[in-house]
Chains A and B, each alone.
Chain A
Amino acid sequence: MTVGMVLANDRSRPLEFWFKLEERARVQLDELVAVDVFNPFNPERPVTVYAVVDDLVDSVEGLAFPGDTELLEQGASYGRRILMAHARVLRFVPDVLRPPRPGAEVRLALGGDLAKALYVDRMKDSALPIGVLRNGQPAYLNYDFLCGVAGGHVNISGVSGVATKTSFATWLLYSVLNSRRADGQYVARNRQDVKAVVFNVKGTDLLFLDKPNGRWADDERAYCQEAGLDAASRYQLLGLPAGPFERVSCRVPPRPGLAGADRLAGEVPAGATATPYAWSILEFCQKGMLPYLFALDPGSQMIQFVTEEVAEQLKRSTAGQEGPHVYLPPSETGDRDPAAARGTLEGLEADGRVKVTTLDELVEFVADMLLGQFWGKSHSQGTVHAFIRRFRGALRHVRHLVRGDMPPRELERARLDPLASSDMVHVIDIHDLHSVAQAFVVGVVLRDVFDKREAAARNAGTVYVVLDELNKYAPAQEESPIKDTLLDIAERGRSLGVILIGAQQTASEVERRVVSNAAVRVVGRLDMAEAARPEYRFLPGTLQERAGILSPGSMIVHQPDLPVPLLVTFPFPAWATRGSEVARAAADGGEGFDDLIALE
């Protein structure tokens, strides 16, 4: 369908050109167009230039002064109106880089043209739907650049609240888990081995992933109607079923202050299903989790030495033990009286070891060891005291997460080991935790996942880690154990199948290497000052400005395969994001969901 002609304004270049747009042509920003160009290397086969409209100018030629517009409206003067569109070139087929000829016809890129414009023809079986373009056509992401084959990691930036970062991350995950190719196979190869670890950082939104949303269909229909989309939902447009996530395991932290009970209890919002998580104090010692108590602020170099030494001592002392509690030797000197060394007989075992069942006890034990100069002799008293102070300070935020006072079966139930579980999506709720505890959980889980993947065989399946607030965990400036882990993931995770879907308000505040390793960059509404920073150079021209006015539900997606980022919208979640949205149980036989799925 012809929509205009290339302008002879000396601006027709191989990478950008202007065209005169017919007034009635259904073209707006982000529309995809195609122009045929003579191919001197093979005159039989013209070059087709595919481009995206990134600017539109409506002006009146022949008016000397803008003020004369009034005269124009009054009919006392006249000019010729011209609607011009600026197009940024996406692709040449064949790959002959020639500018469009002025006067050449510009047509809408539809059907095969559209697939070529968006490189979908090259993605072949890896075309993963990521949203709907402004013209109602599906947009695709090359899955090879997501899953680690050709590239990996996703980085999402945007202002909190309006940028819908978490929603997009969840939607991306949904598409990965549910998209099928034309032949019925899943786009995500070995999907049965795909795992997702999702940290729920804010609110309780993600704890309802496995619950159908009773409201989305109406919202979605209304949206499609307003946008003039030829479908009842964008799921339908993208060939995806609409429904909640399957095989979800939601985990919440245990309620603090319940020591002595024989079951862990978590704060589960109404309508959600979740089980508590906790670590045994034995794991804490054996796996060297101590440094993660100070994950956000590890302290001075000297203090870090103490931390490392204590962690090492705990690891060594607890090797081969069976939990959940630990037995620690009161001293290493051997010839001293353990009771004297310890100062009290409480908790002292017959063999002279001390039974430790809570973190509080552990802190006191470690303090005794350090102050009695059994451990860390070479450190100054000041440093040792500083370490103990920090340890005690962290205690009240995490004491409910590390337990030795529970029956072993209960702690087994509370184990957090996504890779060993048969569930696919693991939502780990940390929103209500203090930031010290949040960092502890994130740090421990990420390290665990990474280490296990490092030890496992290749092609063990892909693990997607969804983490918001990257600026907190991998800040541009400071060093921390979590940042080390995130850097490990960013730089080596791709080959191990650990893919980070990270998000933050401002990419400029996140460690550059974490952001730059992301093959797929996504931008929601940005603060204008932020959008001007070099981290967003991948947004050409007007897109950078437009990032400042994006509406919720619209994202700009940049992928290595496409030279120009795409602006897409994604559907309302078909899974609940709060208790009130959870669709009524199927008891009444309604099952409105299956009807919608049947549309597909």
Chain B
Amino acid sequence: MMSKMMIQIENLYRTFHHGSNEVSVLKEINLNIRQGECVVLKGVSGSGKTTLLSLIAGLDKPSAGKVLIEGEPISKLPDLFASELRAKKIGMIFQHFNLFEHLSVNENVTIPLIPSGLKMKEIHEKVDESLTLANIIHKQETLASRLSGGEKQRTAIARALVADPNIILCDEPTANLDRDNSLLFIDILGKLHSMGKTIVIATHDPLFDSLSFESTIVPMVDGKIV
């Protein structure tokens, strides 16, 4: 039986305006990603993969076309619903980790659950689970500013997983990691893949060319899927 469609991208365009100049970053993108799939968007810097990831996450709005998450058009939803969709269905891992440096690992991972309506006890349980999965529970009381690059990345993974989303989006996840930490990250991705998570990775790292688990490479050049 075919798994359900998680992400549908239809005729997607993204254009930026700088004064009188118009820069098309994404052109005519069509892509369907099913549940449990791992898709690697590959391309050099400026090929539009990060922009595409932002549009999937609803962090940016398309100039034309649409992105559907489990059938819902995220870019057209009112803020309250788009935020809820983002909180429940999407976990995002950023290139620069984007942690709150003044908060501890534990507190950083708690943040996505604050608006969820869960009680503190439930939140703590979920946070512990997520920290264990990302192998960073031993640093839970450490301030984010005192972590190494690899530890920051694992904290970001724990934060992305804490709400148990179906979709994990990773933007250049190994760009700031050494080889050992990058391999460790790929191991964790393998675990998530085996859990049935839908994973989309935007990267130019060759380590993602031959992953140990099933993945689809989608090459991007100049804002187009080739």
A binds B: no
